[in-house]
């Protein structure tokens, strides 16, 4: 789904500062077009299900199969093929290079951490389209590929610049091919949170950052210098990612006492994801070392444990406790840490 939440775009769309005229126009355009893209996706798949993915002949090989397309600032997908395993016809295009590297980094994290090849575990081809739309302020997973806008240049830069964003969006493909969480309410917020966790781990794995060293910021590379903010979301401290006159203040809650009940944003999927986000970051830091070695494995085990599509926070939390006990032992430090993390955010 979309990495930039609609409430941020709505705030930007109402900006009256002449310095951000292009950004406000771009945000209004995204608000007009994104719901149609999202609704088209959900009407085909009422609850997220396995997308239509291509598998090369040697689909079990460990190396990723990647293709990058260029929409050339149109909204026609997939665009013109510019890079594949057979060569690169756009060697000077940084967006193509970043998308290529990001797809590979996500594949590497999933395979090395949990033995999961590509988004479906069977090494499906990873496709991405860059230069989508004119100053398009978002990136999204459309069920079969990643799609990246170039940003408006005033508030947002190009979306290929962020590894955590690439990992986040590809993670939606993983979620669709495993639990198939319904993109509504708590299950939708879980989908957003798990995608954030995978996105953060892709970045941390590439940089070889431990849980203590990591920033836990999703989309740290997106904002221009004119914005007072670290990124789209702060997993460790939800609600603190940005505080800016143009885009507003980060509204994410960090605890169940502040859970937001709303009909907007598919029942607050981008808002309430802050609660499980904090649980994952706290667990990773409590266990120490690299987040993907224990916390990430527990989350993935829970994701693939037969969750109902409408799983609540409590249901997922219980699954992670069970997963920790199964992998590390009943009463293990890992199981106790998982319980403590969820208690800290008011879920258990």
Sequence ranges of the domains in the chain: 6-177, 185-344
Query: 6-177: what fold?
Result: Elastase; domain 1 (3.10.170)
Q: Judge whether 346 and 256 are in contact, CB under 8 Å.
A: yes
Q: Judge whether 51 and 173 are in contact, CB under 8 Å.
A: yes
Measured in whole angstroms, how far is the alpha carbon of residue 315 from the centre of its chain? Answer: 21
Q: Judge whether 95 and 150 are in contact, CB under 8 Å.
A: yes
Distance, in Å, from the CA atom of 144 to the CA atom of 146, rounded to the nearest integer, reads 7
pLDDT value, residue 58: 57
Distance, in Å, from the CA atom of 47 to the CA atom of 50, rounded to the nearest integer, reads 10
Sign of CA dihedral 325, 109, 164, 29: negative
Residue in 15, 1, 85 with CA at minimum distance from that of residue 265: 1
The residue from 11, 29, 172, 270 that is catalytic is 270
Q: What are phi and psi of 220, to 5 degrees?
A: -65, -20
Sign of CA dihedral 296, 348, 317, 240: negative
The three-state secondary structure class of 243 is: strand
Q: What are phi and psi of 8, to 5 degrees?
A: -70, -45
pTM greater than 0.85 = yes
Residue 270 annotated among the catalytic residues of the structure: yes
pLDDT value, residue 49: 44
The residue with tokens 């892709």 is: 202
**Buried residues in 166-190 as b, exposed as e (16+ CB within 10 A):** bbbbbbbbbbbbbbbbbbbbbbbbb
Q: Which two tokens stand for residue 155?
A: 């508030």
CA distances for 147 relative to 77, 137, 276, 305, angstroms: 9, 11, 26, 29
Q: What are phi and psi of 335, to 5 degrees?
A: -65, -45
Distance, in Å, from the CA atom of 76 to the CA atom of 313, rounded to the nearest integer, reads 37
Angle at 105 between CA 149 and CA 87, to 5 degrees: 75
Residue in 176, 151, 154, 130 with CA at minimum distance from that of residue 29: 151
Distance, in Å, from the CA atom of 26 to the CA atom of 156, rounded to the nearest integer, reads 10
pLDDT value, residue 57: 65
Distance, in Å, from the CA atom of 204 to the CA atom of 208, rounded to the nearest integer, reads 6
pLDDT value, residue 52: 67
Measured in whole angstroms, how far is the alpha carbon of residue 48 from the centre of its chain? Answer: 15
CATH code of domain 185-344: 1.10.390.10
Distance, in Å, from the CA atom of 196 to the CA atom of 238, rounded to the nearest integer, reads 12
CB proximity list for 249: less than 8 A, separation 6 or greater: 239, 242, 243
- Tens of each residue's pLDDT in the chain, 348 residues: 799 999 999 999 999 999 999 999 999 999 999 877 855 554 554 444 445 688 876 555 678 999 999 999 999 999 999 999 889 999 999 999 999 999 999 999 999 999 999 999 999 999 999 999 999 999 999 999 999 999 999 999 999 999 999 999 999 999 999 999 999 999 999 999 999 999 999 999 999 999 999 999 999 999 999 999 999 999 999 999 999 999 999 999 999 999 999 999 999 999 999 999 999 999 999 999 999 999 999 999 999 999 999 999 999 999 999 999 999 999 999 999 999 999 999 999
pLDDT value, residue 47: 44
The residue from 169, 192, 203, 230 that is catalytic is 169
pLDDT value, residue 222: 98
């Amino acid at each position: 789904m979309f990495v930039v939440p609609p409430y941020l775009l709505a705030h930007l769309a109402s900006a009256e500062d002449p310095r951000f005229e292009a950004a406000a126009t771009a945000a209004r355009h995204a608000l007009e077009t994104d719901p149609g893209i999202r609704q088209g996706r959900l009407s085909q798949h009422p609850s997220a299900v396995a997308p239509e993915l291509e598998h090369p002949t040697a689909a079990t090989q460990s190396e990723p199969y990647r293709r990058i397309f260029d929409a050339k600032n149109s909204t026609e997908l997939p665009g013109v093929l510019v890079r594949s395993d057979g060569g690169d016809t756009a060697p000077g295009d940084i967006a193509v290079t970043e998308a290529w590297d990001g797809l590979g980094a996500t594949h590497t994290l999933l395979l090395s951490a949990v033995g999961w090849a590509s988004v479906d575990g069977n090494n499906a081809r990873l496709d991405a389209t860059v230069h989508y739309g004119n100053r398009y302020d978002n990136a999204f997973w459309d069920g079969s590929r990643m799609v990246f806008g170039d940003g408006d240049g005033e508030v947002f830069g190009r979306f290929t610049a962020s590894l955590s964003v690439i990992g986040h969006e590809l993670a939606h493909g993983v979620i669709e091919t495993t639990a198939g969480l319904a993109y509504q309410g708590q299950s939708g917020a879980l989908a957003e949170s798990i995608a954030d966790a995978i996105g953060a781990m892709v970045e941390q794995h590439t940089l070889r950052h431990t849980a203590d060293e990591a920033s836990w910021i999703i989309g740290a590379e997106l904002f221009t210098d004119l914005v007072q903010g670290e990124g789209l979301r702060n997993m460790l401290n939800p609600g603190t990612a940005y505080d800016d006159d143009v885009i507003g203040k980060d509204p994410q809650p960090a605890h169940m006492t502040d859970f937001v009940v709303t009909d907007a944003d598919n029942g607050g999927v981008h808002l309430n994801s802050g609660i499980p986000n904090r649980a994952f970051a706290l667990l990773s830091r409590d266990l120490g070392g690299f987040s993907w070695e224990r916390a990430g494995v527990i989350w993935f085990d829970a994701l693939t444990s037969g969750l109902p599509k409408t799983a609540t926070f409590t249901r997922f939390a219980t699954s992670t406790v069970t997963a920790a006990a199964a992998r590390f032992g009943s009463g293990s430090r890992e199981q106790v840490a998982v319980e403590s993390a969820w208690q800290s955010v008011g879920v258990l």
